[in-house]
């Protein structure tokens, strides 16, 4: 009997790529042992922006849900962390996970409102909902109301594992705290990339790609569009909430205006995704590196730096809407995270 055709994901180099990816992660895990503390702090920023960008990319690039209100879940995550750590006395690392879960639950009533809207209305609706969360949390007097509050040092300095790290690396409390936050951020970023990759490789990823390409066609092929989009919205809200909790654990100071800032947590994130390449996993990774380099070299120019970023957003969208990775992968046929299914002839190499 003749061997049959098979469906295969990935190519000849997939295994090498996986190995290289594992090596990069291992190197990043070991980094705090020898890197300068400023680099560690910078990388925490890179990791949480990368995670936010991956979530927004999944939402907009795949599920077609263009939200300008993801700062709602960053802010909720931050505030939930403060509430859980200060009022409930939870360990901050546990509180990060729990904050994500609660943010995901809060995404359900949010979706009840915004999912009635489409396209531009959805975008504006999500922004208004984020403003509502900001104004409601500004009423929370125990957490400082409109001016916000700080995490007391006895909470930030008693993150679980901090004594072990101090003894192992012979560092002071603040440096040890940075290391733990670094690993937490790395775990969150790497976990996000891995989770997004696995989702996109799965049956659900196929459904998402179908929705992205044509909603009516997806529906006619048996995809439950509403359910798929809702799951993505809730999952990204939970992830974004966890990132928000981590961000404000590191900052140790929260206020409604900063936690729900549309510029920091949505505009920059959209910019990162679009610079790198929307609708790809590689795009946000490249985008966040470009954004970090721009910021570290130009941020001291203040308003001129922001004007440059605005101009960059316009130029990229008009002249290179597929972003850097879109260009590179088209030109050189390169794929780092293969999700495309190919038909393999019997006898061909996998």
Closer to other proteins by Cβ: residue 19 or 315:
315
Which residues inside 60-89 make contact with other proteins, applying CB under 8 A? 60, 66, 68
Q: Which residues contact 304 (CB under 8 A, 6 or more apart)?
A: 298
Stretch that binds other proteins, among 8-16, 167-175, 246-254, 264-272 (CB under 8 A): 264-272
Residue showing tokens 């001291």:
300
Paired tokens of 116: 């009635």
| Dihedrals phi, psi of 260, to nearest 5 degrees | -110, 35
Residue 216 in the binding site for other proteins (CB under 8 A): no
* CB of 267 vs other proteins, minimal distance in Å: 6
Strand partners, 149: 254
Residue 267 in the binding site for other proteins (CB under 8 A): yes
Residue 138 in the binding site for other proteins (CB under 8 A): yes
Residue 129 in the binding site for other proteins (CB under 8 A): yes
Which residues inside 278-337 make contact with other proteins, applying CB under 8 A? 278, 303-304, 306-307, 309-314, 317-318, 321
**Given candidates 22, 94, 139, 202, which one binds other proteins under the rule CB under 8 A?**
139
Inter-CA distances, 280 with 69, 242, 328, 338, Å: 21, 22, 12, 10
* CB of 292 vs other proteins, minimal distance in Å: 18
**Is the alpha carbon torsion for 183, 338, 270, 225 positive or negative?**
negative
Closer to other proteins by Cβ: residue 78 or 125:
125
The site that binds other proteins (CB under 8 A) totals a number of residues, namely 43
Strand partners, 8: 342
- Say which DSSP state 1 is in: -
* CB of 305 vs other proteins, minimal distance in Å: 9
Residue showing tokens 């969150």:
188
Closer to other proteins by Cβ: residue 50 or 60:
60
Q: Give the integer Cα–Cα distance in Å for 274 and 61.
A: 10
Stretch that binds other proteins, among 100-108, 112-120, 179-187, 224-232 (CB under 8 A): 112-120
* CB of 206 vs other proteins, minimal distance in Å: 22
Paired tokens of 219: 């529906």
Residue 113 in the binding site for other proteins (CB under 8 A): yes
Closer to other proteins by Cβ: residue 107 or 190:
107
Q: Which long-range contacts (CB under 8 A, 24 or more apart) does 81-86 make?
A: 81/244, 81/245, 81/246, 81/248, 81/249, 82/143, 82/149, 82/151, 82/248, 82/254, 83/143, 85/151, 85/155, 85/249, 86/143, 86/149, 86/151, 86/152, 86/155
Closer to other proteins by Cβ: residue 194 or 298:
298
DSSP states along 31-55: GGGTS-HHHHHHHHHHHHHHHHHHH
* CB of 313 vs other proteins, minimal distance in Å: 3
* CB of 321 vs other proteins, minimal distance in Å: 7
Which residues in this chain contact other proteins in the complex, by CB under 8 A? 60, 66, 68, 112-113, 116-121, 123-125, 127-129, 131-132, 135-136, 138-139, 262-263, 267, 270-271, 274, 278, 303-304, 306-307, 309-314, 317-318, 321
């Amino acid at each position: 009997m003749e061997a049959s055709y098979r469906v295969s994901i990935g190519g000849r180099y997939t295994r090498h790529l996986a190995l290289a990816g594992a090596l990069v992660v291992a190197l990043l895990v070991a980094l705090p042992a020898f890197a300068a503390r400023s680099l560690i702090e910078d990388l925490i920023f890179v990791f949480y922006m990368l995670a936010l960008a991956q979530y927004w990319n999944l939402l907009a690039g795949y599920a077609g849900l263009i939200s300008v209100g993801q700062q709602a879940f960053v802010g909720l995550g931050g505030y939930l962390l403060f509430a859980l750590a200060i009022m409930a006395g939870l360990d901050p690392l546990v509180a990060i996970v729990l904050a994500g879960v609660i943010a995901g639950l809060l995404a359900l009533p949010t979706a009840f409102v915004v999912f009635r809207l489409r396209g531009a209305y959805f975008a504006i609706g999500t922004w208004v909902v984020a403003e509502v969360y900001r104004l409601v949390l500004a009423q929370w007097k125990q957490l400082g109301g409109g001016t916000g509050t700080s995490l007391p040092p006895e909470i930030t300095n008693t993150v679980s594992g901090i004594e072990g790290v101090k003894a192992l690396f012979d560092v002071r409390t603040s440096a040890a705290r940075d290391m733990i936050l670094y690993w937490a951020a790395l775990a969150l970023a790497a976990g996000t990339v891995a989770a997004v990759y696995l989702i996109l490789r799965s049956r659900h990823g196929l459904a998402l790609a179908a929705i992205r390409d044509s909603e009516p066609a997806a529906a006619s092929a048996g995809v439950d569009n509403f359910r798929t989009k809702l799951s993505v919205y809730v999952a990204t809200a939970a992830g974004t909430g966890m990132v928000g909790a981590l961000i404000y654990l590191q900052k140790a100071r929260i206020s409604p205006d900063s936690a729900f800032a549309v510029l920091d947590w949505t505009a920059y994130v959209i910019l990162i995704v679009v610079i790198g390449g929307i609708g790809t996993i590689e795009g946000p990774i490249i985008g966040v590196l470009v954004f970090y380099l721009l910021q570290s070299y130009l941020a001291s120019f203040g308003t001129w730096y922001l004007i440059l970023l605005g101009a960059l957003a316009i130029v990229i969208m008009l002249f290179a809407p597929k972003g850097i990775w879109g260009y590179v992968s088209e030109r050189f046929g390169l794929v780092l995270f293969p999700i495309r299914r190919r038909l393999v002839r019997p006898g061909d190499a996998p």
